[in-house]
């Protein structure tokens, strides 16, 4: 009996780049074992050294998650499907998060009645709903691909106070998907560019800008005056920091994520459902699952997912409707597949469970949290900077260069004379390396290459290995004389 196994976009590089597989088997365990036999590279991603499912990976049978009433040895039928979903109680709130007192404090003038007339005609919104929207305060963290549509639609909808937080500058490469910025904004701070665009959309709303780096010391004060937080970031440190702050502050969090052609949206509200840690107790090791920055994203996807995020924000403000609290919406735009999966509250969750161990916001050590920190008895990963590497290449030193990046990354910036070995193939292809020659590992930012080196060492490789510090990003403007061109 063949069962359909759907592979999330972040895992497809380990499964022959396929979105859907048909695999023979009678139980979940049997099907996943055969998947690993056919695609051995996926084993390292799904399971740790003790053969336990990694905590950042969720396995669903239809809409039910493994571990919540369904076990590895549960029987499956020909109509069932399995979904592998790594990180990146449905709620139907009957009341708005904006109290009647706050609603009554605001009024709509003639301009606003004309401007928002299409909202006023909707029975579910009407005058009361629009006044709640005007009274609301929403913080959008991250003004990139997701933040762009979220903040623009919330401003257009009439949200009274919009907070925008970002520390970055606009780059030319941002313009493909970050539609809040334009060509003239390149090299400008994102919050300045976004503020101008928002003001052009709706000059009557209040815009609050935050250019600080969010950390455990300031995030509670920053989110304190907002009703809802929208997480539009693209890194795990921020996701866990924001989620923990929202749980401890009692704020609903509207989460969004995009990667290549796949996006996800959920609403995490620990008061009435699960939090982010209930779904993803810990992040993947850095570099094991690439981010959208490393893996790419199709332009319209951020608009689709960001618009859904904005819609979830408005539903929380207005009240009513079916919220994504306790649910995860997964949208695969390339294969036209959409799923709504259950996310159950984890009673053992360290922050929102019955006996929480996280009682305050912490600046956790990202490398330690992701398992990258060196143990005292572990050989440290030695780095080499771009200038030194180029000097050694130029003078003809014997070196082996191993590129562990994705194919589309190499198409943008190639590294001369590097051999390509994906991380999942290193153990079985280590004989291609000369243990008497220095081997330098290359990735985009120098994180995946550390993972590659540790993976190779665990497989027994004894030769000298080095990590290119800062990855290809630190070396991309270097000229090789024998190439006669930029890297």
Q: Which residue's entry shows tokens 């336990």?
A: 52
pLDDT at 246 over 60: yes
pLDDT at 70: 66
For the chain, list the domains and their CATH numbers.
Answer: 2-86 (3.10.20.30), 136-369 (3.40.50.720), 382-486 (3.40.250.10)
Looking at every residue in the chain, the average pLDDT score rounds to 85
Cα–Cα distance measured from residue 396 to residue 401, given in angstroms and rounded to the nearest whole number? 13
Rounded to the nearest 10°, the torsion over CA 465, 469, 470, 471 is -30
Task: State the average pLDDT over residues 358-384.
Answer: 63
> Distances from the Cα of 268 to the Cαs of 90, 165, 343, 344, 361, in angstroms?
11, 20, 10, 11, 17
Q: Which residue's entry shows tokens 């800008």?
A: 209
Enumerate residues 6+ apart whose C-beta is below 8 A from 121: none
pLDDT at 376: 45
pLDDT at 482 over 60: no
Task: State the average pLDDT over residues 72-94.
Answer: 70
Contact 274, 349 (CB under 8 A): yes
Residue 284: name the closest of 179, 372, 403 by CA: 372
* pLDDT tens column, 251-309: 999 999 998 899 999 999 988 899 999 988 876 655 555 554 455 788 999 999 999 99
* pLDDT tens column, 190-210: 999 999 999 999 999 999 999
Contact 6, 20 (CB under 8 A): yes
Cα dihedral 167, 169, 174, 179 sign: positive
pLDDT at 66 over 50: yes
| Strands in 98-187 per DSSP E | 137-141, 161-165
Enumerate residues 6+ apart whose C-beta is below 8 A from 164: 139, 140, 143, 147, 151, 191, 194, 195, 198, 207, 208, 209, 210
| DSSP-derived pairing of the beta strands 137-141 and 81-86 | unpaired
Q: Which positions are catalytic? A: 292, 443
Chain centroid to CA 71: how far? 27
Contact 165, 238 (CB under 8 A): no
Cα dihedral 14, 19, 25, 30 sign: positive
- With DSSP H G I counted as helix, E B as strand and the rest as coil, what are the percentages for the chain, rounded to 5? 35, 20, 45
Residue 91: name the closest of 277, 344, 353 by CA: 344
pLDDT at 478: 62
| DSSP-derived pairing of the beta strands 382-384 and 337-342 | unpaired
* pLDDT tens column, 314-328: 999 999 888 999 999
């Amino acid at each position: 009996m063949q069962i359909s196994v759907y592979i999330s976009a972040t895992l497809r590089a380990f499964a022959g780049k396929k979105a859907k597989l048909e695999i023979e088997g009678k139980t979940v365990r049997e099907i996943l074992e055969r998947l690993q036999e056919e695609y051995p590279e996926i084993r390292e991603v799904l399971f740790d050294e003790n053969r336990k499912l990694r905590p950042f990976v969720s396995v669903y049978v239809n809409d039910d998650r493994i571990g919540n009433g369904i076990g590895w040895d549960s029987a499956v039928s020909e109509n069932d499907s399995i979904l592998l979903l790594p990180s990146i109680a449905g709620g139907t709130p009957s009341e708005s998060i904006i109290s009647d007192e706050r609603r009554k404090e605001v009024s709509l003038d003639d301009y606003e009645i004309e401007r928002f007339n299409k909202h006023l005609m909707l029975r579910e919104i009407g005058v009361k709903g629009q006044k709640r929207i005007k009274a609301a305060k929403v913080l959008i963290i991250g003004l990139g691909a997701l933040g762009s549509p979220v903040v623009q639609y919330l401003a257009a909808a009439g949200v009274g106070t919009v907070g925008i937080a970002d520390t970055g500058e606009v780059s030319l490469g941002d313009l493909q998907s970050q539609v809040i910025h334009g060509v003239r904004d390149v090299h400008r701070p994102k919050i300045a560019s976004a503020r101008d665009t928002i003001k052009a959309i709706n000059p009557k709303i209040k815009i609050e800008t935050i250019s600080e780096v969010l950390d455990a010391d300031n995030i509670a004060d920053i989110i304190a005056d907002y009703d809802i937080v929208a997480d539009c970031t693209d890194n795990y440190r921020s996701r866990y920091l924001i989620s923990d702050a929202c749980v401890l502050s009692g704020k609903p969090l509207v989460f969004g994520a995009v990667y290549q052609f796949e996006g996800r949206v959920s609403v995490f509200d620990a008061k009435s459902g699960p939090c982010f840690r209930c779904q993803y107790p810990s992040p993947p090791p850095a570099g094991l699952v690439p981010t959208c920055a490393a893996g790419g994203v199709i332009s319209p996807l951020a608009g689709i997912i960001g618009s859904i995020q904005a819609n979830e924000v408005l539903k929380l403000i207005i009240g009513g409707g079916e919220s994504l609290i306790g649910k995860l919406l997964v949208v695969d735009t390339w294969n036209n597949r959409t799923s709504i999966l259950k996310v159950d509250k984890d009673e053992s969750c360290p922050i929102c469970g019955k006996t929480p161990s996280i009682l305050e916001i912490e600046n956790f050590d990202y490398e330690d949290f992701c398992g990258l920190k060196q143990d005292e008895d572990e050989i440290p990963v030695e780095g080499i900077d771009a200038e030194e590497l180029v000097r050694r290449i130029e003078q003809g030193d014997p070196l082996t260069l191993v590129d562990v990046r994705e194919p589309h990354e190499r198409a943008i910036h190639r590294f001369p004379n590097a051999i390509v070995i994906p991380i999942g193939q290193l153990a079985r292809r280590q004989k291609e390396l000369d243990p008497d020659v220095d081997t330098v590992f290359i990735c985009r930012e120098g994180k995946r290459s550390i993972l590659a080196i540790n993976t190779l060492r665990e497989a027994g490789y004894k030769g000298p290995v080095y990590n290119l510090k800062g990855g290809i990003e630190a070396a991309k403007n270097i000229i090789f004389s024998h190439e006669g061109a930029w890297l």
